[in-house]
A and B are shown apart, each in its own frame.
Chain A
Amino acid sequence: MALRAGRRLSWWGLLVPTVLLYALIFFVPLGVLVGESLRAGSDGPLSGVNYSAFFSDGVTLGIFLRTVRLSLLITLACVLLGYPLALFMRRAGPALRLVALAVVVSPLLTSVVVRNVAWLLVLGREGMVNTLLRQAGLIDAPLPLLYNTFGVVVGVTHVYLAFLVMPVFSSLLSIDPSLEDAAASLGASRTTVFWRVTLPLSFPGLIAGTTLVFVLSMGVYLTPVIMGGSFVTTLPMVMTDLVRNQFDWPRAAAFAIVLLAFIALVLGLSSRAERRIERMRGEGM
């Protein structure tokens, strides 16, 4: 008994370095942030005024909802592009798989500024796409591809695609092909096999991937500044301005906490969905 307790304790001991590190670089600053967010102005008295401002100042809530909308659009774009790609990678041979993976991951290895400026050259009014379309006689006036929501979705999807493809790909790989063969041998068409077998079995990866992309997109800052021409305003841009230009750190802290709480909620919902799927599968088998 004592031996087992001791062993369990030493297992917990493995956590110590991480817990210490997180306490130092995450939980302590987070505590400071919460403390700061409860002040009315720097060095002001305790108050919830910064939190109520989020909902009642007439602008911030709107920007937050637009940020959610933008993140949903990015997530949708990632699913539409990423899921077929992951399916392709599952079928492809090792060499092709490696090439596809390298292409998807490569944006993560480039600086965000370089990537965005390259997009400016492609999507700008005098950029590659518009020039080609105009020379082909398909359009008269340049299409507005940049400095709007479309531009931001393109720029962010380009990078975050990897975060969707990876989990979906690994969850597709773990599907036993004999399940699909079985469905086919029982008369299911290829589309039925996909909708009834492959897709549901890849849900854990899809949920993980979409959650990751959505959560990351909620914090996007530089791409809306460069490719959205600042007309696409996200909550992190509001917070940066509060810190940088208005010196209102308590309010920025409160907004950060609200964003964090929202993200925690999304993560909670996502892990609940994943658990439910696992339970359903357990019952089915």
Chain B
Amino acid sequence: MGMTITEKILAKASGRDKVTPGENIWLNVDVLMTHDVCGPPTIGIWKKEFGEKAKIWDKEKLVIFPDHYIFTANKHANRNVDILRDFAKEYQVDNYYDVGTERYKGVCHIALAEEGYNLPGTVLFGTDSHTCTSGAFGMFATGVGNTDAAFILGTGKIWEKVPESMKFTFHGKLPEYLTAKDLILQILGDITTDGATYRAMEFDGEAVFDLSMNERMTLTNMAIEAGGMNGIIAADAVTEAYVKERSAKPFEIFNSDKEAKYFSKYEYNVNDLEPLVAKPHSPDNRDKVRNVQGTKLTKCYIGSCTGGKLTDFQLAAPILFLGQEVKVPTFVVPASTEIAKQLEIETYKGISLKQIFENAGCFIAQSSCAACLGGPDDTVGRSIDHDVVISTTNRNFPGRMGSKKSSVYLASPLTVAASAVTGVITDPRDML
């Protein structure tokens, strides 16, 4: 019987020829990633449990990105960054990207890609549910809590249940009014927020392999919104080109066998799909933009690991360029400092993307997770009171972006940009 790409990677990482969905196996971890929210408690558990003998299993394989609560006066949040800094110093962790230095990167999932930690065929665990983002590189990547991370930190190993796989195939050429965000919102509406719990979500088809790595990461990023253990896209020439620019390390490309067994298969023709939103208060509360157009907004937000990548800004810029000025406060939050620099270099009709956003009246914030998850009171773009927000982020649970009374619509950067220039939810087809 054949194996899926996820099964092949897990077999390799557990030193077996073959694994079967449902069995619990112990994996050798290639990279452990943590950040300022979960890093300090992970370190605390590691120290407590391993005691004086506490030793990092492999410093090369530990990566720490402070990214969640960075530009805040909150003393407890700043204390967490101090804990990471002290830890990195004490244990000589080279892969630490400190705040306030040239090394500061921003949102961990994007920084992992940019810094060359994402390698096809490898296994990455992170103390963040959106760690599944890295699966865009044909690797197994998933989120864990502090205890599991502390265990990995000391041993390099962790148990995992081999997931069944679900396959999502997108046929056709993606029309200009659709983005990867629309594709994943389509899936979420179809399978709901627990439709992939404990399973692998494998993305396939012409429309997927036509996507840039940035857009592929939008698909795998939101696998967790369906409860997925991991999202995965087989590595191809696009992946190899991206990886080789950023890493000299060896990697292995796996593909699913033709006779591999899937829990379920979904097939879509992208020409049948429309721009979508997830309405309050759940990422699976899908509707067509057309059905909610005209909904009055108080805030627009383009940012996060899901929707703050260079491609997201490249998609949004032409609409803001044409629409000239935003009608409601609009926040532009580049996920990483590299993307922030690219906004100054990349142009549309001879004008830098940064200039386009500034001309349109957007507020450009420093790279971090920012208001995607609310954060401390002084977090830029945080929802307040009865805000009605449209956002390129990943979750719209009650209170997720700050205020418990606010309502958040999730949408593509095209839809958010179109809505920013009108002040009401707007179908991007009316602007393109």
Are A and B associated in one complex?
Answer: no
Residues of B at under 8 Å CB distance from A? none
Residues of A at under 8 Å CB distance from B? none
